[in-house]
Every structure is written in C-alpha cells, then in structure tokens.
Amino acid sequence: MNGISERLALEDSSTETWTPFSVLFKPHHNVFTGNYDINVLIAALEEKGKSVVWHDRRKGASCIDLDAPVLMGIVINVSVTRFGGIWKSRHWIALRKIDGVWFNLDSDLPAPQPFHDAHKVREFLDFTLAQGGEILIVLNEKQS
C-alpha cells in the first residue's frame, strides 16, 4: 500500500505545491493514523484485476445484488470517534461472502462477525448509509 500511495503522489499534478510538511502529511496516506485514502484502495484492487463501483446512496441497499457471481465484496467507509470523542476520522470496513455466508471483517472487531442472512447484511448497509457512510461495491472483473 505504501508503494501505491507513493506512486499516486508522484503522479499527482499538484506536487509543485508540496512543502517540507509533505513528508508527514502525504496526499494519500495519513502517517499518524496509518489510513490510506480511496485512491490507494482502488489502485490496489485494480492491480488485482478488480473494479470498484460507488453505490448510489439514494437507492439504499435493497438494489445491491448480494448473490451476483461477479460480486467479490463490499467496502464501506464510516465516520468514527475515538479517544473519548476528541478524535474523529474515517474507518474502512470490508464485507465478504465466504462459503455462502456474509461476514463483517471490521478490523475493530475481535473476530469476523457472520450475518444471519442477506436481509441482515442489507439492514447493516442501510444503517451505514443513514449514518453518513459510503458503500463501494468490489467486482471480480474490471469494468470497461
């Protein structure tokens, strides 16, 4: 991920506005939190032959075909508050169907959490959207 982040920064047309602080405040990677932005995530997935499609939040989760053969998984980005409310940031969460069962693979959980059924996955996604989260659909093939 660091290599992708650095490559994207070199390709960024705004590099002429960099300052000595750019060593710490990189355009695609937060050195303090370790978080990468969406551009790094998409580039990493595309290198693996995947594509990422932003989900139109106005449609809700009901229009996501959770059984589509081309669907690799779902990535969501949510707002989080840490350290007693003094630190606000964003957090990536992956959802993946493994052997017919959808799992919440959130790194903040002690272990992957299975969803009871597709209805529970959609409820979770709708709740995420209602809280201002973003949903990205990851497909097993590149879109043309």
Q: In percent, how much of the chain has pLDDT > 90?
A: 50
Q: What are the structure tokens assigned to 45, written together?
A: 């997935």
Mean pLDDT, range 16-35, rounded to an integer? 51
CA–CA dist 87, 24 (Å, integer) = 18
Q: Which pLDDT score, from 0 to 100, does residue 29 have?
A: 46
Kindly list the domain boundaries of the chain, sorted by start residue: 1-48, 49-144
Spatial strand order in the sheet of 113-114 = 51-54, 134-139, 71-82, 87-98, 101-104, 113-114
Mean pLDDT over residues 33-58, rounded? Answer: 81
Confidence of residue 40 (pLDDT cuts 50, 70, 90): confident
- Which is higher by pLDDT, 143 or 62? 62
For the structural domain made of 49-144, what CATH number should be given? 3.90.70.40
β-pairing verdict for 113-114 and 101-104: antiparallel
pLDDT on residue 5? 45
Per-residue confidence at 48, pLDDT binned at 50, 70, 90?
confident
Q: Are 131 and 81 in contact (CB under 8 A)?
A: no
